[in-house]
Structure 1
């Protein structure tokens, strides 16, 4: 029996750590998910256990490479962003992997923006809304200002995806999709590190910037394997769509955050867009991707708990209700849609509405989704303006919600709206950019499953 040629992908989220194997047709042949216990930093804040993660990576790598069923031809990594691993002179982690949700000192933040041109100007130049520790560059600025001795001891700061690659290759690198994602590090006008990075000596703590498609050849188990340098997960998830579609489109990636990504809009972020949660990512080719965010998945999760408590029904029963045009019509006649369309991205009229007004859970759930989709239109239109977008691809949780999909199609009547199905899109994207390194077969044409939602004539 011949071993199956595969590419191994480590897909590292904050909650789930995954090992995935794809064959030469990019069919997922094996997947294993692990949850690793967290630790705390010196202030008691929960954070990733970098030592535990490192050991898990090494063990998982050895397990797969010695599995006689598979011939591992290449390896790549996708991982969450806004997180640094700090290496000392011995190239070993010596500080916690700080949680990007950690509160940022207001006085230090104020001093930083005052020094470098003010929040509005700086945010526009770096395509980074003011997000505190979520702007990963601010974590390094804090380290330099608050703990100069540890900053001096720092040899390299690696964004998490690049550290995960380093575990296998022992070659440190920086990579553009991690650097370009609301980090405060990248000057989108000059297409280089922002002036503050060099003025503060932060650039000296970064290893060389490599192409996202670069690999390091690693010798293991009597063979040499190309290992990628890792990708930021949001940019990786866009790759299957960029490989399959060349006409302008928007990818609406739905989860806790619903993120509208337009890789065909590279105009500079305006002040208004920044104030409405607009930002930019960079593709693996270094091209800007204008994006906007809506906290809709989180809101949906909170509100269906409220519905469940009020109506005394299981959450699964409430969310399983199918799209009902008659319920939508009744809600419209009551003026509900009009109220929703007057809402803002940050304000939900549904959250202030007495559930007794709806009568039953099916009507209430339709009303909730109507409100979410109305504000989703506002968010998506931020990145759509000025571009010739003809398609919206929706992936993630809401792509499976028939009410959401029908209503979204109704609110974008001049655009084709599709529910997209890409098994493990983030991991698949990380695999696809190394295609030429391991796979002689042509890229398959059916990587993405699509279901079209037409405008409801009613």
Structure 2
């Protein structure tokens, strides 16, 4: 039996660590998911166990390489961002992998922004809203100011995806999708590190910046394997769409946060956009991707619990209701749509509505989704302005919600709205940019499954 040629992808989330194998047609042929025990840092904050993660990664690699069913031709990594692994002179981790949710000391944050032009100016330059530890560069600034001896002992700070690649390649590097995502490190106007990175001595702690498509060739017995340098997961998830579609589009990625990503909008972020949860990512090609966020998935989760309690019905039954145009018309006649459109991105009137105003759970649920979609329209328009977007692709949880999809199509009548399905999009994106390194077949044209939602005729 001949071994199947595959690419191996490690997809490392905060909760799930995945090993995935794709064949030459990018069909997923094997997958394994693991949950690793966490640890705590010196302040008692829960964080990733970098040593446990390192051991798991090495063991998982050896396990796959020993599997005679597969011929591993290439390897890449996708991982969550805003997290650094700190290497000493021996290139070994010597500090915790700090949690990006760790509270940031306000006096230190205020001093930083005061030194570098104020929050408004600095955030516009770096396309990074003020997010504390989620601005990963601020973690290094904190280390320098609070623990100078350990900062001095630091040889390299690697964003997590690049550290995961380093485990296999032993070659440290920096990479643009990790640096360019709300890190406070990148000056989008100058297309380089922000001046503070050099002034504070941070730049010397970063290894050389490589292209996202660069590889390091490693040897496994008699075999050589190209290994990618790793990608930030949000940028990786966009790659299947960039490979398949060339006309301007927006990817609306729905989950706890609903993030509108427009890779065809490279205008600088305005102060107003930053105040409305606007930010920028960088594609694997180093191009800005304007993005906006709405906390809609979390709101949906909270409100359906409220509906379940009020109506005495299981959540599964409430959310399974199909789109009903007659219910939508009744709600519009009551002024519910107009009321929802007066809400803001940060405030939903549904939170305050008396559920007795709705005759049944189906009507209440339609009203909830109508409210969410009205505010989603506001959020998505932030990144749509000034571009010739022809399509919106919706992936994630809301793409399976018929009420949401029909209403979204109604609110964007001049744009084609699709529910999109890309199995394991993040890992697939990491695999696709390695294509020319291992795969002589053409890229398949059916990587993304689409369902079109047309505006209902009047």
TM-score clears 0.5: yes
Q: For residue 14 of structure 2, what is the aligned residue in structure 1? A: 14
The answer to whether residue 350 in structure 2 is matched with residue 343 in structure 1 is: no
Residue 74, structure 1, aligned to residue 74, structure 2:
yes
Q: Does 1:185 align with 2:185?
A: yes
Aligned-pair CA distance for 1:259: 0.5
* Contact 1:66–1:221 (Cα < 8 Å) also in 2: no
1:251 aligns with 2:246: no
Deviation at 1:36, TM superposition (A): 1.2
* TM superposition shift of 1:278: 0.4
Structure 1 segments of 4+ aligned residues over 6 angstroms from their partners: none
What TM-score comes out, normalization by structure 1 length? Answer: 0.99
2-structure distance, mates of 1:331, 1:39? 50
1:211 maps onto 2:221 in alignment: no
Contact 1:290 1:383 in 2 (8 A): yes
Match of 1:224, SS? strand
With 329-338 and 408-417 compared, the bigger mean Cα shift is at 329-338
2:130 is the counterpart of 1:125: no
Residue matched to 2:61: 61
Residue 301 of structure 1 deviates from its aligned partner by 1.1
Structure-1 separation of matches of 2:365 and 2:16: 29
How far apart, in 2, do the equivalents of 1:304 and 1:88 lie? 49
Structure 2 residue runs without a partner (length 5+): none
3-state SS, counterpart of residue 381 of structure 1: helix
CA RMSD of aligned residues (A): 0.8
Pairing 1:10-409 to 2, within 5 Å after superposition: 10-409=10-409
The more displaced of 97-106 and 312-321 is 312-321
Matched with 1:443 is 443
State the SS of the aligned residue for 1:204: helix
Structure 1 residues 371-396: Cα deviation after superposition (integer angstroms, max 9, x where no partner):
11110000000000000001000011
Q: Distance in 1 between matches of 2:151 and 2:445?
A: 49
- CA distance, structure 1, for counterparts of residue 11 and residue 163 of structure 2: 13
Asked if structure 2 preserves the Cα contact closer than 8 Å seen for 1:65 and 1:221, the reply is no
| Offset, 1:49 | 1.1
Separation in structure 2 between the aligned mates of residue 161 and residue 251 of structure 1, nearest angstrom: 23
Give 1:457 shift.
2.2
SS at match of 2:25: coil
Identify the range of structure 1 (68-77 vs 29-38) with the bigger mean alpha-carbon deviation: 29-38
Query: Hey, what's the Cα distance between the residues in 2 that align with 1:396 and 1:197?
Result: 36
Contact kept in structure 2, 1:175 and 1:209, CA below 8 Å: yes
User: Partners of 1:296 and 1:113 in 2: how far apart?
Assistant: 30
TM-score norm. by structure 2 comes to 0.99
Listed as ranges, the gaps of 5+ residues in structure 1 are none
Query: What does the per-residue CA deviation read over 1:1-39, in whole Å, with 9 as the maximum and x for residues that have no partner?
Result: 100000000011111111111000001111111111211
Distance, in Å, in 1 between the alignment partners of 2:236 and 2:351 is: 34
Q: C-alpha deviations, 1:69-119, integer Å up to 9, x for none?
A: 000000000001001011111111111111111111111000000000111
